[in-house]
Structure 1
């Protein structure tokens, strides 16, 4: 009996020790421990740097309107508007009217209006936005009036471009990816279909001139239309971009970004940048040669709002004519040479008398 009693006590001691050891492991176990034990595990958690960069805390007005406008993957379409573009100050269509009309007559674009965030630069633009029942946010800029028309390369124009850059960097820090589009860009087809779905492409940006190579830094970029993913690299890009403002007097943000690109800063930040083909993402600098492929038309290479309105109205007429004719005559739908864009005469004339070498007024 003594033998069996001693043996039972020993067994109980072993079991108790094993249980205590198991309990210790359960209490001390952590995700970092799992990585040590399973080094091949693919952790999808954000890096420490990303978690420090993305803004957290109570939701402010911007965060709430971003949530309302966002797609399920935290992507929004952002466009800036001021009094000149929202009201116009004269009878006829405004730039805002034309911008929204493009979504109405475009192919598979109407639903995208639900994801537009209209950023108003003044109270009149904000009131107009709310009246049209869009997603609206008023960008407060103390002591600066961004309401009137800002002519290309004027001092006020440059200030407005830099304020835009600062705001867009804030959106990235909130974890939102976005397409930024100037209001003088007509969306004739859904651009998400043409943008690369490769998650490693950080920035996809339009060009005034495209040389045929989507990774070539010799393409002449245009910041009037681009898609950017929110991550550490793009947040660092926008911070560095804005930081160069004070050391780049008289330069608009687009020119500074081009300078950064040629200084090798894209590579330093580890950015993957894709330059968009003007066949799809076209403009007045370079028309798309194929109505069957064109996705957006930008009134670039144009100086005044009045000229842009005139020539963009012609773009929408050309587009609706193309849709009407190809619906009636199906055989013309595949003919890339039958349809031609109207000349951008008003925009061409807007440059008459402009002194390209003059200092910023």
Structure 2
């Protein structure tokens, strides 16, 4: 009888120890530090996600994205600035734009552009892929050349990947001068899926050089359909294909809410803003090559600085009518048939 009681006591003690051990493991595994360690051991963050997280920090998972190559970060011919230099200068000279540099991610399509980005200590991502092995995107791609069209489609695919990761963004070409903070001029309503610039107020001649897009199922579906049409659109740039989807009613089919940005605020060389007090961005559209863009955008920044100086004396500024310097280099670029782009 004593032996039986002793055995029962040992079994009872073992059960108590087992239950205690299980409870200890449960509480230990629920510890935040342990959960964090377990998560970090099973979750990998690739270079793109890391760059996006840095650029989107504190900005509601929204980034500013620009794509650069060697031709945009190196001086060409007699130019005193690069396209990237002018773009960054506009962020410095613009109204309430300097802090936006913290949310800018430069996507470099070649090593020279990536090295320059890193030297400037910006948020940088090096775009590489297996299907790019036989494509060289480093040199200048003249408007509507086969390489230009290829590069635009590669850009579209990359931006689709960004949307799929849940990031909203403003895409901007680096030949867009940011003279005021565009976020203060864009519609902040979450129901607006896409806000895109246009070349002219007459008709929806959309321009993919500047737009804001929210990441959701509708916009992802749009980009998937858009990119899927690349092989059936010979001779058309990606912007033309997107316009064809708009005209065909595909935006309505998806239920997309779209705003077309007014050229008074989001202007370009195709149609100047008549109002220096409202202009937010100036895009070197309707221009064929980089040297012409650099020359005329340099004049844009000079005009902007002149306007800002005059605004110090508001009484004087009201008496002045500010006009943009004519974009003579860009207008003439279409007749420059002997132009050889720098490689």
In the superposition, the TM-score normalised over structure 2's length comes to 0.83
Partner of 2:108: 120
Tell me, yes or no, if structure 1 residue 348 matches structure 2 residue 334.
no
Tell me, yes or no, if structure 1 residue 163 matches structure 2 residue 126.
no
Relative to 1, partners in 2 of residues 1:309 and 1:203: Cα closer, same or farther, differing over 3 Å?
same
Q: Which residue of 204, 214, 217 maps to 2:195?
A: 204
Tell me, yes or no, if structure 1 residue 304 matches structure 2 residue 283.
no
| 1:88, distance to aligned residue in structure 2 (A) | 2.7
Partner of 1:78: 65
- For the Cα contact (< 8 Å) 1:278–1:287, is it kept in 2? yes
| 1:299, distance to aligned residue in structure 2 (A) | 0.2
| 1:250, distance to aligned residue in structure 2 (A) | 1.2
- For the Cα contact (< 8 Å) 1:292–1:334, is it kept in 2? no
- For the Cα contact (< 8 Å) 2:76–2:291, is it kept in 1? no
Cα separation, 1, equivalents of 2:332 and 2:95:
31
| 1:181, distance to aligned residue in structure 2 (A) | 0.2
Q: Deviations over 1:239-260 (max 9, x none)?
A: 0000000111111000000000
Cα separation, 2, equivalents of 1:263 and 1:353:
35
Cα separation, 2, equivalents of 1:249 and 1:270:
28
Cα separation, 2, equivalents of 1:324 and 1:351:
34
After superposition, the CA RMSD in angstroms is 1.6
Relative to 1, partners in 2 of residues 1:58 and 1:104: Cα closer, same or farther, differing over 3 Å?
same
Q: Which residue of 119, 133, 147 maps to 2:121?
A: 133
| 1:268, distance to aligned residue in structure 2 (A) | 0.8
- Map 1:225-244 → 2, pairs under 5 A: 225-244=210-229
| 1:89, distance to aligned residue in structure 2 (A) | 4.2
Cα separation, 2, equivalents of 1:198 and 1:175:
18
Partner of 1:45: none
Tell me, yes or no, if structure 1 residue 270 matches structure 2 residue 252.
no
| 1:57, distance to aligned residue in structure 2 (A) | 5.9
In the superposition, the TM-score normalised over structure 1's length comes to 0.79
Relative to 1, partners in 2 of residues 1:220 and 1:354: Cα closer, same or farther, differing over 3 Å?
farther
Tell me, yes or no, if structure 1 residue 260 matches structure 2 residue 251.
no
The structure carrying a bigger helix percent of its residues is 2
Q: Deviations over 1:122-179 (max 9, x none)?
A: 0000000000000000101322110000000000000000000000000000000000
Tell me, yes or no, if structure 1 residue 319 matches structure 2 residue 304.
yes
What SS does structure 2 have at the residue aligned with 1:205? strand
Cα separation, 1, equivalents of 2:245 and 2:317:
42
Residue ranges of structure 1 left out of the alignment (5+ in a row): 1-55, 212-217, 356-361
Partner of 1:66: 52
Cα separation, 2, equivalents of 1:176 and 1:88:
33
Q: Deviations over 1:22-53 (max 9, x none)?
A: xxxxxxxxxxxxxxxxxxxxxxxxxxxxxxxx
What SS does structure 2 have at the residue aligned with 1:246? helix
Cα separation, 2, equivalents of 1:106 and 1:89:
25
Cα separation, 2, equivalents of 1:113 and 1:243:
33
Q: Which residue of 78, 84, 97 maps to 2:85?
A: 97
